[in-house]
Amino acid sequence: MRSFTHTGLPSRVVFGRGTLSALPAELDRLGIRRAVVLSTPPQEGHARHVAELIGPRAAGVLPMAVMHSPVDVSDAAVARAQEMEADGLVAVGGGSTIGLGKAIALRTDLPQVAVPTTYAGSEMTSILGETAGGEKRTIRSPKVLPETVIYDVDLTLGLPSALSATSGMNAIAHAVETLYAADGSPITTLMAEEAIRALATALPRIVEVPSDAEARGEALYGAWLCGACLGAVSMAVHHKLCHVLGGSFGLPHAETHTVILPHAAAYNRAQAPDAMARIARALGAGDAPGGLFDLAQRLRAPTSLAALGFREADLDRAAEIASREPYPNPRPIERGAIRDLLGNAFAGRRPGLAVA
Ligand code: NAD
């Protein structure tokens, strides 16, 4: 007899090709008359295009988003949005831009439309990670969940191959940890397995031909499911390790997820056999951790912490920090075993079939 608790988050999703054209109608639905359009500096062109599309409904463009949502940037953006008398937000970009929209919404309660252009999945969660004084703080609040998400496959056609690969592996990491999450449900299990299947099928095609619209559509569909998983359950050892490596050692977000994922799966292999069977099936591989490693290699993505510039001398300290205040995980967190995991990830060793 199974028992579970599932909370569905209240957001509206519009998915397809050319769906950006629905933005004016979606703003009307939310009663937004003066939207500020957010982006990173390199994606200002995307934001200007969106502002043109919505014409008089655009209050202005703020190309201020940067990685890890620094609090001072968010505060400055709130002040600028207030000067513009904005009554809503449109975030066009990856997790950094959507993070800026969430940070403004947290402070102002303005309604948001997210238009994701990577596979990170932040648009489907009520989670915001903010940094101040070199420390990352994660909060969950219904205020930060975007009311509407417009997934337009066309906006992802230009996402470079390398970024598509690591962003896709970042999304798969959400689904992998969903399959052994302490608070998973039958719905999240179905979504997670389907998400891994969709992304594992699409990403190798995208790396070969980035403009393959059919593969892009399949990958974005998988990314949506992965984001919905992330929004519904608690993440485990993999995310703890990535938060430590990003927060305390400055490693890049999606690349770090790509390197750590096979090793985190290997860490949990014996304690999560059903999850491993589903991951392997979705990958079309004989073994989940090895299959995840092989997928990253096939995508020509980084497979070692050394390749990300991590210093071997920092492995002990990383293991020490990562073993403190552990996230719920199928296998208890033991510092020695975490140090072994990080050592394997540093060297880029393919996880073997032996029980870790
Ligand atoms: P990102 O948003 O930082 O984007 C990386 C780079 O790619 C940026 O320079 C961006 O301008 C560019 N880019 C994005 N889409 C593009 C496109 N289609 N074409 C060309 N260039 C494009 O990276 P990300 O991996 O999407 O997001 C990472 C951030 O999101 C991290 O800070 C992470 O903590 C956060 N995140 C938060 C959640 C959450 O639920 N709160 C979930 C996932 C990620």
**Which residues, 6+ apart, have CB-to-CB distance to 279 below 8 Å?**
176, 179, 193, 196, 265, 288, 291, 292
| 104 Cα: distance to centroid of ligand 1 (angstroms) | 17
Candidate from 66, 74, 122, 241 with most ligand 1 atoms within 8 A of CB, to mutate = 122
Q: Which atom from ligand 1 is nearest to the alpha carbon of 163?
A: 7
Measured between alpha carbons, how far is residue 27 from residues 80, 109, 124 in Å? 20, 16, 18
Residues of the chain with pLDDT under 50: 355-356
35 pairs with which residues across the strands?
58, 88
Burial state string for 172-197 with b = 16 or more CB within 10 A and e = fewer than 16:
bbbbbbbbbbeebbeebbebbbbbbb
**Residue 162 pLDDT:** 97
- CA dist 146 and 273 (Å) reads 35
Residues with CB under 6 A from ligand 1: 40, 42-43, 67-68, 93-97, 99, 117-118, 120-122, 125, 127-129, 155-156, 158-159, 163, 167, 170, 230, 253-254
- Which residue pairs, CB below 8 angstroms and at least 24 apart, start in 268-271? 268/180, 268/236, 268/237, 268/329, 268/330, 268/331, 269/355, 269/356, 270/331, 270/355, 270/356, 271/180, 271/330, 271/331
**Which residues, 6+ apart, have CB-to-CB distance to 299 below 8 Å?**
165, 168, 169, 203, 204, 207
| 160 Cα: distance to centroid of ligand 1 (angstroms) | 12
**Residue 354 pLDDT:** 55
Candidate from 131, 233, 253, 258 with most ligand 1 atoms within 8 A of CB, to mutate = 253
**Residue 356 pLDDT:** 44
**Residue 305 pLDDT:** 98
DSSP H or E stretch at residue 278? helix 273-283
Conformational region of residue 68, where left means phi above 0, alpha means psi within -120 to 50, and beta covers everything else: left
Listed residue (212, 186, 70) closest to 137, CA to CA = 70
Listed residue (283, 186, 177) closest to 230, CA to CA = 177
pTM, 2 dp: 0.95
Q: Which atom from ligand 1 is nearest to the alpha carbon of 155?
A: 18
| 285 Cα: distance to centroid of ligand 1 (angstroms) | 29
Candidate from 163, 167, 229 with most ligand 1 atoms within 8 A of CB, to mutate = 163
Cβ atoms < 10 Å from Cβ of 271: 13
- CA dist 252 and 249 (Å) reads 9
Candidate from 11, 43, 102 with most ligand 1 atoms within 8 A of CB, to mutate = 43
Terminal C-alpha separation, the chain: 30
Q: Which residue's CA is the nearest one to ligand 1's atom 21?
A: 159
**Residue 248 pLDDT:** 86
Q: Which atom from ligand 1 is nearest to the alpha carbon of 40?
A: 11
Cβ atoms < 10 Å from Cβ of 16: 15
| 280 Cα: distance to centroid of ligand 1 (angstroms) | 27
